Chain A
Amino acid sequence: MNEKLKDRIICVAYGDASFLEKFKINRLASKDEEVKQILEEYCKIAKTVHSITKEEYTEKPKIRVFINEPKSVFEEIYLIIIGKPLISFAAAVLLVFAISFSIINNKELSYDGYSIAEVEKANLEVKQALQIVNSIFTKTENKIKHEIFREEVSKPLNEGMNTINKLFKKEKKNEI
């Protein structure tokens, strides 16, 4: 038998080959008796090899470091990280994802926080506030125009001008 074919049969028997290779060899085995026999022989041994269980090491080690002492929190965390790196990695990814999600979500909330009704209400309130301010300014303007200028500025000015006129008239009479 071709050595290359034999190598392929061995790989299939020990479960190393791809699905396609398995299919090819099994098909060949169904046609060729020699291939079938070799495949069966190797399969039998491979199956037995894979069924051999590991032996337990039960001896006490010469170096026994605080094996029975309670573990500290730091050690527990350290052992979880190095003992189950996949779980630690998954937890870290989950944490990062949760933080990112909450940040993005918060941003969206602040952006979408005001509904159209709220915006309209705010506009209305601003308008009302401006109207109040406007009315105050108008009142103040009227008061300045009609009360303060008339009573406190125009009247004394007129009185002053009258007094000056009188004084001029008296002067002219005296000159004549």
Chain B
Amino acid sequence: MNLKSAKYNFLFPKYKNDIYNYSLYMIGNRFDAEDVVQNVLIKIWENIDKFNILAAKGWIIKTTHNLCIDELRKRKRSFKNEIAIDDNFDEMYNEQCKSLIDSEINDKILNEQIKMKINLLPANLKSVFVLYEMQGFKYKEISKALDIPLNSVKVYLLRARKKLQEELKNYELQEVI
């Protein structure tokens, strides 16, 4: 076994879930997220000698982020098709929520609603929010991985939190009505 495969075998189990979760939140669809994970793994294999393995976390998330953005751009190009997919996605979530309302599990509903609303956040706010709140990254790591100033990270995070709160408030109002 050579060094390249040893490094890969070390990185793959360590970061596969991080890559998958980030892609899932950024893209909002499992199939495309899985594709992104495969592409990231290929990129890791191709560039494994070019980055420091101890600082791999930042490099991997940066690559994942770039691939997610590429995927979202592709979607914009095929806009009509995308709307259809999103409609299905929303319907699927609503169905899930209805079934959960029936079973009166309020926490679960809120959990699912939050996941859905996170998916609706703008890409720049969503990436910072997911990395900080869900993946446990620090401000500096996010700033490095996404190539944005440290202050912007803080501002985006605050905006994302406010936006999420507003969206969930609207949802609560709709539920009351």
Residues in A with CB closer than 8 Å to B9 are 65-67, 79
Known: A54-B17, A59-B37, A67-B9. 17 other contacts (CB 8 A): A14-B133, A44-B110, A45-B164, A48-B110, A49-B133, A52-B111, A52-B114, A59-B34, A59-B38, A61-B41, A62-B38, A62-B42, A65-B5, A65-B8, A71-B6, A78-B6, A79-B9
Q: Is the CB of A61 within 8 A of B1?
A: no
When chains A and B are docked, how far (Å) is the Cα of A55 from the Cα of B4?
A: 28
Shortest B95–chain A CB gap in Å is: 19
In this complex, how many residues of chain B approach chain A with their Cβ under 8 Å: the count is 41
Residues in B with CB closer than 8 Å to A54 are 17-18, 21, 134-135
Name A49's contact: one of B21, B42, B114 (CB within 8 Å): B114
Interface residues of A (CB under 8 A from B): 6-7, 10, 14, 41-42, 44-46, 48-52, 54-57, 59, 61-63, 65-67, 69, 71-72, 75, 78-79, 82-83, 85
Shortest B162–chain A CB gap in Å is: 7
Q: Is the CB of B158 within 8 A of A7?
A: yes
When chains A and B are docked, how far (Å) is the Cα of A48 from the Cα of B105?
A: 13
Task: List 10 A-B pairs, minimum CB-CB distance, nearest first.
Answer: A57-B20, A65-B5, A57-B16, A75-B6, A63-B45, A61-B41, A54-B21, A57-B17, A65-B8, A49-B133
Shortest B131–chain A CB gap in Å is: 13
Q: Is the CB of B17 within 8 A of A75?
A: no
Shortest A72–chain B CB gap in Å is: 6
**Cβ-based interface call for B147 (8 A):** no
When chains A and B are docked, how far (Å) is the Cα of A62 from the Cα of B37?
A: 10
Name A61's contact: one of B5, B12, B110, B164 (CB within 8 Å): B12
Name B17's contact: one of A46, A51, A55, A69 (CB within 8 Å): A55
Shortest A102–chain B CB gap in Å is: 31
Q: Is the CB of A63 within 8 A of B42?
A: yes
Q: A14-B133, A50-B133 are in contact. Are A55 and B20 (CB under 8 A)?
A: yes
Shortest B91–chain A CB gap in Å is: 21
Q: Is the CB of A79 within 8 A of B134?
A: no
Q: Is the CB of B41 within 8 A of A62?
A: yes
Q: Is the CB of B1 within 8 A of A71?
A: yes
Residues in A with CB closer than 8 Å to B45 are 63, 65
Q: A45-B164, A61-B41, A79-B10 are in contact. Are A66 and B1 (CB under 8 A)?
A: yes
**Cβ-based interface call for B92 (8 A):** no
Q: A45-B168, A57-B17, A61-B12 are in contact. Are A51 and B111 (CB under 8 A)?
A: yes
Q: Is the CB of A63 within 8 A of B41?
A: yes
**B 28-45 binary contact with A (CB < 8 Å = 1; else 0):** 000000100110011001
Residues in A with CB closer than 8 Å to B162 are 6, 10
When chains A and B are docked, how far (Å) is the Cα of A1 from the Cα of B38?
A: 47
Residues in A with CB closer than 8 Å to B168 are 45
Q: A48-B110, A57-B20 are in contact. Are A82 and B41 (CB under 8 A)?
A: no
